[in-house]
A and B are shown apart, each in its own frame.
Chain A
Amino acid sequence: MQKEVEVSGKKKGKYRQSLVVVGLVMIAGLLLDLIGFTPIKMPAFPFNLYWGLGFINLMLISYLAFRNHRWLVWLSSVPASVAAIIFYTFLILSMGFIPQEGNADGMIGAFRLDQVISSWSFFLLQLFFLITLGMVTLKRSIPFKWKNWGFILNHLGLWLIIFAAALGSGDFKRLKMAIPEGESENVAVAENNQAYRMPFSIGLQDFMIREYPPKLALINLKERKIISTVMINASNPDNSYQLLDWKVNITPSIMHHTTGLVQDTNGEEKSKFLVIASQNGQQHTGNLTPGAGAEANLMQLSNQRALTILPPEPQEFISEITLSQHELQKEALVKVNHPVKFAGWNIYQFSYDQAAGKHSKYTVLELIRDPWLPVIYFALGMMTIGAIYLGWMANQEKSKHHGVE
Chain B
Amino acid sequence: MGWNNFGLFITGSLISWLIGVTMPLFSEKLKQKDTKIILFTALGIIVLLVFIIQLWINLDRPPLRTLGETRLWYSFFLPLIGLVIFIRWRLHWLLTYSLAMSLLFLLINLLKPETHDQTLMPALQSFWFIPHVLVYIFAYAILAASALVATHSLFVHKFQKQSIKNLDKADQLVYLGFAFLSLGLIFGALWAKEAWGHYWTWDPKETWALLTWLFYLLYIHLRYHRPQKLKLHSWVLGLSFAVLLICWFGVNYLATGANSVHTYGAN
Mark A residues whose CB is within 8 Å of B: 8, 11, 78-79, 81-82, 85-86, 88-89, 92-93, 95-100, 117, 165, 172, 174, 212, 215, 228-231, 313-317, 335-339, 346, 348, 366, 368, 370, 373, 376, 380, 383-384, 386-388, 390-395, 398-399, 402-403, 405
Contact = CB atoms under 8 A, between A and B. Distances in A.
Contact of A92 (B89, B125, B214): B214
A398 B224 contact: yes
B171 interface: yes
A313 B121 contact: yes
B208 A79 contact: no
B163 interface: no
Given A11-B225, A395-B172, A368 B256 contact: no
Given A99-B255, A230-B114, A399-B168, A316 B211 contact: no
Nearest to B176: A391
Contacts of B246: 96
A313 B258 CA distance: 24
Contacts of B168: 395, 399
Contact of A96 (B89, B204, B217, B226): B204
9 contacts: A8-B228, A82-B225, A88-B214, A100-B256, A314-B122, A315-B119, A338-B194, A391-B178, A399-B168
Nearest to A14: B225
Contacts of A388: 179, 183
B256 A96 contact: yes
Contact of A85 (B123, B179, B207, B221): B221
Contacts of A383: 182, 186
Interface stretch (B21-29, B38-46, B99-107, B195-203): B195-203
List 9 A-B pairs, minimum CB-CB distance, nearest first: A391-B179, A231-B117, A78-B225, A394-B175, A336-B122, A387-B182, A395-B171, A89-B214, A390-B179
A96 B123 contact: no
B254 A82 contact: no
Contact of B202 (A100, A212, A337): A100
B103 to A, nearest CB: 24
B208 A96 contact: yes
A317 B122 contact: yes
A370 B223 CA distance: 38
Contacts of B210: 92
B97 interface: no
B225 A79 contact: yes
A82 B194 contact: no
A277 B119 CA distance: 25
Contacts of B149: none
A373 B256 CA distance: 28
B178 A390 contact: yes
Contacts of B215: 89
A92 B218 contact: no
A285 to B, nearest CB: 24
Contacts of A89: 211, 214-215, 218
B183 A316 contact: no
B77 interface: no
B117 A315 contact: no
Nearest to A79: B225
Contacts of B207: 92, 95-96
Contacts of A399: 168
B76 interface: no
A402 B197 CA distance: 43
Contacts of B189: 380
Contact of A316 (B122, B178, B193): B122
Contacts of A393: 175
B172 A394 contact: yes
Contacts of A335: 122
Given A78-B221, A380-B186, A390 B175 contact: yes
A92 B211 contact: yes
Contact of A314 (B121, B126, B214): B121
Question: Which of A88, A348, A380, A399 neighbours the largest number of chain B CB atoms within 10 Å of its CB?
Answer: A380
B190 interface: yes
Given A81-B221, A380-B199, A394-B176, 18 more contacts: A78-B221, A82-B221, A85-B221, A86-B218, A92-B210, A97-B256, A231-B117, A315-B119, A336-B123, A348-B197, A380-B186, A387-B179, A388-B179, A390-B182, A391-B175, A391-B178, A394-B175, A399-B168
Contacts of B180: 387, 391
Contacts of A212: 119
A336 B210 CA distance: 25
Given A99-B256, A391-B175, A384 B183 contact: yes
Contacts of B194: 337-339
A88 B221 CA distance: 15
Given A85-B214, A92-B210, A337 B172 contact: no
Given A79-B225, A315-B119, A95 B171 contact: no
B14 to A, nearest CB: 26
Contacts of B197: 174, 339, 346, 348, 366, 368
B31 interface: no
A313 B198 contact: no
B220 to A, nearest CB: 9
Given A380-B190, A388-B179, A398 B171 contact: yes
Contacts of B204: 96
B141 interface: no
Contacts of B125: 316, 336-337
A405 B225 CA distance: 7
Given A314-B122, A380-B190, A384-B183, A230 B117 contact: yes
Contacts of A314: 121-122
Contacts of A395: 168, 171-172, 175, 223
Interface string B67-110: 00000000000000000010011000000000000000000000
B222 interface: yes
